[in-house]
Structure 1
Amino acid sequence: MTEPDLKLNLPNWLGYIMTITGVTGFAGVILLYACQCKLIYPANYPEGSREEVAVPSDYGMNYIEETLRTRDGVHLKSYIILQPNEDEAKRRPTILYFHANAGNMGHRLPIAKQFYNRYKCNVVMLSYRGYGKSDGSPNEKGLKIDSQTMLDYVREHPILRTTPLVAYGQSIGGAVAIDLVSRNEDSFSGLMLENTFLSMPKVIPHVMPFLKYATFLCHQHWYSEKAIKNIVNTPILFLAGAKDELVPPSHMLRLKELSETRAGKVWASFPNGMHNNTCMQPGYFTAIQNYLSTHILKEELGERSGTGYPTTQQVEPKETEDEATVEAGYVDGQIVGEDKENNQSYQLVSGLADEKGQTHNFTVKEVYLDKDD
């Protein structure tokens, strides 16, 4: 007696589809697990990002380039951009800038220039391990060490150690910032987040839909939805692009809802903001200015706020024709200010539009803002 032949009688076309689908799915699973860090941290994009890194002096800012050594022996390149007057530098806020997952810190200097010139902030920024001219290879554990290394440096710096510290993160840089502040909240006076996700497993299905059933293999977690609950005494600014095509806008809204901070939450949404161009939207820098003025800077020099953070005298930003940028636009859909024109052009990490008008990550193009007549 022979054993029955266990065989499915499927149509040839259906068997072909199942075979192709199965092979594609299996390949996707292998890709997600084995090449995960290369997918999440495309440090080589845009082309030349590991060799060419712009410097602050290209944008009229004096700076010191520091090589920071992490506790696991990785050397990181960092820019320390101080206000030119030492006494003023000691009073002004310091922005710890954490960039998105493509490019390097040099691509973000146009935005750093706005913090430096318009708001008279000191700016500290670094290229994560494996980015720009920093050593090593990027991964979640490593980036957390990198951010801690930068904070430790700032806390020992003779000028910066007494300044109010504000963490600013874009996209995955927001996840880095949330993690760092959640572990060192006593060191921070503020946190600003742009287009940040709840967690890596929850954002992968939107970036790579064919892997939505394989997220259990994701070993880069970035659980911002958990870490943000540990931040309870720091005011948070949420800068959300309503047309973000990579991180669902609902992620930012949910982060705001999950936040339990008692120091204030500020929500600024931009109706036409996509993942890479939210920072170019009307009202973006107005929202930042209002947040810094209300939550970081205080009227009386030397006073301390109720949370114990050092405060500084409020200084209204002054414009010149060459440095003027977004002064007005929309915050939460409401017009703020009278002028609606933007007047500067910058080189920023942005998306390259396809034939459908959608922009995608990991490329650099020239972005122009309208000029005043």
Structure 2
Amino acid sequence: MKEVGIALPKSRGVGVGVLAAFLLCFIFYYFYGGYMTLALFAGIILLIFYYAQDILLYHPDLPANSRIYIPIPTMHNLPHITVSIKTPDDVTLHAFWITQPEERSKSAPTLLYFHGNAGNMGHRMQNVWGIYHHLHCNVLMVEYRGYGLSTGVPTERGLVTDARAAIDYLHTRHDLDHSQLILFGRSLGGAVVVDVAADTVYGQKLMCAIVENTFSSIPEMAVELVHPAVKYIPNLLFKNKYHSISKIGKCAVPFLFISGLADNLVPPRMMRALYTKCGSEIKRLIEFPGGSHNDTWIVDGYYQAIGGFLAELQQQPLLKAPEKSNVWVELEHKIIDV
């Protein structure tokens, strides 16, 4: 459990850094005077703001013991095996592979599940139970780097690297239909899904993408959660951007947007904006009036709506992927049809 020891004291390390910074300012003031000290102080504040953003965004330790105790699928009578997925940058991801009975697993869709920004994948097991039994999908649940028993530290680029590694892993297996791969992401996981779906290489590997209660970008969420004046902070100062609103137009894969209209964290208008700007010719927005940020999946009609979208795709050919190959290069119950 070495990775737990690395991840837990992150906030303590920031505190030590702040104290060291103030000591440096005092020494600077003593030798160089006020103006130089003021400039140094401003630079330190910007650095603290930049690097503290990970603590504000990623919460792998909530609730307590989330890096140690991961509920397993057998607790919900789901058949599974535990797998380890190696990423190109040598991080090891902890994952659960949950398959339909053998006679169905090779013909069933496979859903790759990306969770939100707190806890671990085991906390989403009841939702996965519903996906397994109502949608009859195989499911690969993945813990991001720095979450649960996965090694590493969470970063924006790291999380999307994890998602690509999970897709690559599925393509090494021979007990599933690779033409029926579904990406599903809730909240932070939705931003990961948008990034992968906007990539030409990986977008072509997907049957469809589904995002639920996700945001348009981190800078826009900061305006919502902190203060309207945050909109004047340059994008350059945001360590994590997850600029889905700029990437979604490059997505050609069929897209389903699920929005809980009672979401008090992510404004539902962000989901509508993503839906509107999505570049796919096959896209749907499903809004659930009683759905909140974390539990839209318990609202009546949730699984039926997703099932209807998947059934519709069986009758339509997949579309061409966009021309751009990787967005990172460019970016350092109501159904609405088109």
TM-score by length of 1: 0.70
Once residues 160 and 125 of structure 1 are traced to their aligned partners in structure 2, the CA distance between those partners, rounded to angstroms, is: 15
Q: Report what 2:318 is aligned to.
A: 307
The one-letter code of the counterpart of 2:273 is R
Picking from 252, 270, 286, the partner of 2:271 is: 252
CA contact (8 A) 1:240 1:273 kept: yes
Distance 1:161 1:286, change over 3 A: closer
Query: Measured at CA, do residues 61 and 215 of structure 1 come closer, stay the same or move farther in structure 2, by a change above 3 Å?
Result: farther
Q: How much does 1:277 deviate?
A: 2.2
Cα deviation, residue 221, structure 1: 1.0
Residue 167 of structure 2 is aligned to residue 151 of structure 1 = yes
What are the within-5 Å matches in structure 2 for residues 115-264 of structure 1?
115-160=131-176, 162-183=178-199, 184-209=202-227, 212=230, 213-214=232-233, 216=235, 217-232=237-252, 234-262=253-281, 264=282
Paired amino acid for 2:246:
K
1:39 pairs with 2:56: yes
Amino acid at match of 1:142: G
Aligned residues: 279
| Match runs of 1:1-373 below 5 Å | 32-85=49-102, 87-160=103-176, 162-183=178-199, 184-209=202-227, 212=230, 213-214=232-233, 216=235, 217-232=237-252, 234-262=253-281, 264-295=282-313, 297=314, 305-307=316-318, 330-332=333-335
Which structure's residues are more often helix, by fraction? 2
Return structure 1 stretches of 4+ with deviation > 4 angstroms: 25-31
1 CA distance for matches of 2:319 and 2:272?
28
TM-score when normalising by structure 2: 0.77
Stretch moving more, 55-64 or 201-210:
201-210
More deviation in 111-120 or 62-71?
A: 111-120
Distance in 1 between the 2:205 and 2:245 partners?
21
Gap change, CA 1:95 and 1:210, over 3 Å in 2: same
Secondary structure, aligned partner of 2:161: helix
- 1:45 corresponds to which letter in structure 2? L
Are the aligned partners of 1:284 and 1:331 in contact in 2 as well (CA < 8 Å)?
no
**What CA distance in whole angstroms lies between the structure 2 residues aligned with 1:181 and 1:331?**
24
User: Secondary structure of 1:187's match?
Assistant: coil
- Which secondary structure state, in structure 1, belongs to the residue aligned with residue 171 of structure 2? helix
Partner-residue secondary structure (3-state), 2:204: helix
Structure-2 separation of matches of 1:27 and 1:239: 41
Structure 2 segments unaligned to the other structure (5+ residues): 1-41, 321-332
Report deviation, 1:210.
7.2
Q: 1: CA distance between counterparts of 2:214 and 2:45?
A: 24
Q: Which amino acid aligns with 2:317?
A: G
The amino acid of 2:192's aligned partner reads V
Q: Which amino acid aligns with 2:55?
A: K
- String of CA shifts for 1:177-211, please: whole Å, max 9, x gaps: 11112211110011111011111111111122277
TM-aligned CA deviation for residue 28 of structure 1:
8.7
User: Contact 1:90 / 1:162 at 8 angstroms: preserved in 2?
Assistant: no
Structure 1, unaligned runs of 5 or more: 1-24, 299-304, 310-329, 334-373
Deviation track 1:119-174 (CA, whole Å, cap 9, x = no partner) reads 21100011100001111110101101100110000011111353500111000100
1:81-117 CA distance string (max 9 Å, x none): 11121x4111110001010001111011111111211
C-alpha spacing 1:126/1:273, structure 2 compared with 1 (3 Å): same
* Cα separation, 1, equivalents of 2:308 and 2:44: 48
RMSD, aligned α-carbons: 2.3
CA distance in 2, matches of 1:193, 1:148: 17
Indicate the SS of the match to 1:227.
helix
Paired position in structure 2 for 1:9: none
> Which has the larger Rg?
1
> Contact (CA 8 Å) 1:45, 1:103: kept in 2 or not?
yes
Partner AA of 2:113 in structure 1: Y
Check whether the contact 1:43–1:132 (CA below 8 A) recurs between aligned residues.
yes
Deviation at 1:306, TM superposition (A): 2.5
- Matched-pair contact (CA < 8 Å) for 2:108–2:176: no
Q: What's the offset of the Cα at 1:332?
A: 4.7
d(CA) in 2 for partners of 1:238, 1:205: 23
Following superposition, the deviation at residue 273 of structure 1 comes to 2.1
State the SS of the aligned residue for 1:162: coil
